[in-house]
Structure 1
């Protein structure tokens, strides 16, 4: 299984628009699990992250199909100008 985790930092006045721009990712069928959520900011040592995309995929091929989906391209195009920072990691579990 591949876990795909993406962290976004977004100015407060753009947060709602960025979240709405990422939400369609949850409709892409190639993920076993895909969630777009706001950071709860419960960690006292780090509060930089505003939004998180968390996904689980059967394998690297499923992750590649997810990234090739038109909804992914649309979300990227929508959110890129709204965000300040994007950090992604893919890990094998």
Structure 2
């Protein structure tokens, strides 16, 4: 299984809701076994630079690639890129017993 985690920070605090909306359409893409799009709880004492978190689980690299190739993925990019200041992503494999 591959876990896909992406952090976003809005350029303008007033646009956090629009970033969340633009990313929420990702949940309609059928290739993940789990996909969450949520506001950051911002409870970390050392830094709260992240506004929105995308967390996904994919059975394998092919499923993640299919997710990223879906037209809705590009639509989300088109909506969010002008509004975001930071995007940081990580993908890692985990063994599922």
Q: Normalising TM by the smaller chain, what interval?
A: over 0.9
Where 1:15 maps in the other structure, the secondary structure is helix
Spell out the pairing of 1:13-28 with structure 2 (5 A cutoff): 13-28=14-29
**TM-score, scaled to structure 2:** 0.94
Does residue 46 in structure 1 map to residue 59 in structure 2?
A: no
Aligned CA-pair RMSD: 0.6
Task: Give 2:7's aligned residue.
Answer: 7
Q: Which runs of 5+ in 2 are unaligned?
A: none
Deviation digits for residues 1-24 of structure 1 (CA, Å, limit 9, x no counterpart): 000000001121111111110101
Q: Which runs of 5+ in 1 are unaligned?
A: none
Which runs of 4 or more aligned residues in structure 1 lie more than 6 Å from their structure 2 counterparts after TM superposition?
none
Aligned length: 93
**TM-score, scaled to structure 1:** 0.98
Spell out the pairing of 1:1-93 with structure 2 (5 A cutoff): 1-10=1-10, 11-93=12-94
